[in-house]
Amino acid sequence: MSFWFLIALMTMGAAFAVLWPLGRRTVALAGGEDAAVYRQQIEELERDRSAGLIAPRDADAAKAEIGRRLLAAAGPEAAPAAAKPSRPRRRIAALTALILVPAAAVGLYVTLGSPALPGAPLAERKAEPLQQRSLQSLVAQVEAHLASNPEDGRGWELLGPIYLRAGRFEDAVRARRNALRLNGATAARESDLGEALVYASNGLVTDEARETFERALKLDKSEVKARYFLGLAAEQDGRNQDAAAIWRALLADAAPDAPWVGLVRAALARVDPAAPPAPGPSATDMAEAEKLPPEQQAAMVRGMVERLAERLKEDGSDVDGWVRLVRAYMVLGEPERAKQAAADGRSAVAGDAEKLRRINEMLKGLGLDT
């Protein structure tokens, strides 16, 4: 309540400051001494006309002007009634300024504003948790910081992926160049720069991007992003066999739940149509399943699992497929079939020590290490 009372006082004070000059009586334009001077001028004018120093018409015009000034010097009482300010009009203007305008302003604010919204001082906004602030405001804050601190490598590294997701590819290239220059070369930073260069070139792996990925692999030969894009470069050059070899090796080293496995499998299918399809339902399958009753959905899932099992019987070299099959049986509440699938998977890859090691590690993570 005290806040609104203070606002009312401030409004009334401002209105009085504006209306005070309007409510006062008109101040005389000249005092008594000025009137005496004008009378003396009229007497001198008459003397000059009598002496023939001024033409009669010019003398009459000058006398009329001096008379006008003399009338003004005599005070507001001598002015015509029509020239005096209208007192009712002044009262209406005062009431409008003091009552109607503030009332209309308050009404509009209550209707269109947010009077119940708490204040947000600058210090409190800066202290607001990061997760509650918009991404745009955070980016603007980092950009403002980098404008005055362009050698802050951490800021550039933060902006790189944000620019990339926002489609600001040239900015992403600039940010990742600066991050690489200021923070030092690593396989990940080299690959990030190459990725931004590819996106900035509309998906084309340029010579500069290729060199960047090759530098990344010199630092870490297992760098996933660099390996994928070098496979893409081979595909764009028409070397499909080289691309297929790169992507097969990448899939062989992949964890079963790696988020990029589907992307690499799809790329491999482009250059090698004979490659086995990715296990699991497609997006179309999932969309169709959502339209079915629960019983039919369960039957559809069961069919997908059985098809995966049949495929693994024909080609048991797919470590990821065995792990997916074991996990599916466990989700379906069939632990015995899960154990049997784990045993079958180990038997299928027994001749490959690396694949056997990987499948044992992954099955151990599922609690099936026996």
Q: What would the pLDDT profile of 103-139 be if each residue is shown by its tens digit?
A: 666 666 666 655 555 555 555 555 545 444 566 777 8
CATH of the domain at 355: 1.25.40
* CA distance linking residue 320 with residue 277, whole number of Å: 12
Q: Does 142 fall in a domain? A: no
Q: What is the DSSP string of 103-145?
A: HHHHHHHHHHS-TTSPP--HHHHHTS-GGGS-HHHHHHHHHHH
Q: Does 118 fall in a domain? A: no
User: What pLDDT shows up at residue 106?
Assistant: 65
User: What pLDDT shows up at residue 357?
Assistant: 79
Q: Does 79 fall in a domain? A: yes
Query: SS3 of 58, please?
Result: helix
When pLDDT is averaged across residues 252-277 and rounded to a whole number, the result is 77
* Cβ atoms of residues 349 and 359 within 8 Å: yes
Taking each helix axis from N to C terminus, what angle separates 224-236 and 187-200, rounded to the nearest 10 degrees?
40
Q: Percentage of the chain with pLDDT > 70?
A: 59
* CA distance linking residue 52 with residue 37, whole number of Å: 23
The more confident residue out of 205 and 36 is: 205
User: What pLDDT shows up at residue 101?
Assistant: 65
Q: Which two tokens stand for residue 197?
A: 């260069």
* CA distance linking residue 164 with residue 149, whole number of Å: 22
* CA distance linking residue 334 with residue 305, whole number of Å: 12
User: What pLDDT shows up at residue 203?
Assistant: 86
Q: Does 209 fall in a domain? A: no
Place of tokens 């049986």: 329
**Confidence band, pLDDT 50/70/90 cuts, at residue 265:** confident
Domain limit, last residue, from 111, 135, 153: 111
Q: What would the pLDDT profile of 141-185 be if each residue is shown by its tens digit?
A: 888 888 888 898 898 998 888 888 888 899 999 999 999 999 999
Gyration radius of the chain's alpha carbons: 44
The more confident residue out of 278 and 201 is: 201
Q: To 10 degrees, the CA torsion angle through 130, 136, 141, 146?
A: 120
Looking at the chain, how many residues does it have? 370
* Cβ atoms of residues 214 and 197 within 8 Å: no
Give the least confident one: 4-13, 222-231, 288-297: 288-297
Q: Which two tokens stand for residue 264?
A: 């690499």
Q: Does 251 fall in a domain? A: no
User: What pLDDT shows up at residue 2?
Assistant: 61
Q: How many domains does the chain have?
A: 2
Sign of the dihedral through C-alpha 220, 222, 224, 230: positive
* CA distance linking residue 90 with residue 18, whole number of Å: 12
Domain limit, last residue, from 88, 111, 134: 111
Q: Does 62 fall in a domain? A: yes
pLDDT(352) > 70? yes
Give the least confident one: 22-26, 226-230, 282-286, 288-292: 282-286
Helix (H) or strand (E) holding 275: none
The more confident residue out of 97 and 63 is: 63
Closest CA to 66 of 53, 48, 83, 81: 48
* CA distance linking residue 210 with residue 214, whole number of Å: 6
User: What pLDDT shows up at residue 78?
Assistant: 46
User: What pLDDT shows up at residue 351?
Assistant: 81
Q: Does 155 fall in a domain? A: no
Closest CA to 232 of 215, 219, 252, 250: 250
Domain limit, last residue, from 111, 133, 161: 111
Q: Percentage of the chain with pLDDT > 90?
A: 20
Structure letter (DSSP) for residue 280: S
Place of tokens 């340029």: 206
Q: What would the pLDDT profile of 41-60 be if each residue is shown by its tens digit?
A: 777 767 777 776 677 777 67
Domain carrying residue 306: 285-370
* Cβ atoms of residues 138 and 132 within 8 Å: no
The 3 state secondary structure assigned to 212-266 is: HHHHHHHHCCCCHHHHHHHHHHHHHCCCHHHHHHHHHHHHHCCCCCCCCHHHHHH
Place of tokens 């010579």: 207
* Cβ atoms of residues 198 and 229 within 8 Å: yes
Place of tokens 């209105």: 15
Q: What is the DSSP string of 12-43?
A: HHHHHHHHHHHHSPPPPSS-HHHHHHHHHHHH
Q: Does 233 fall in a domain? A: no
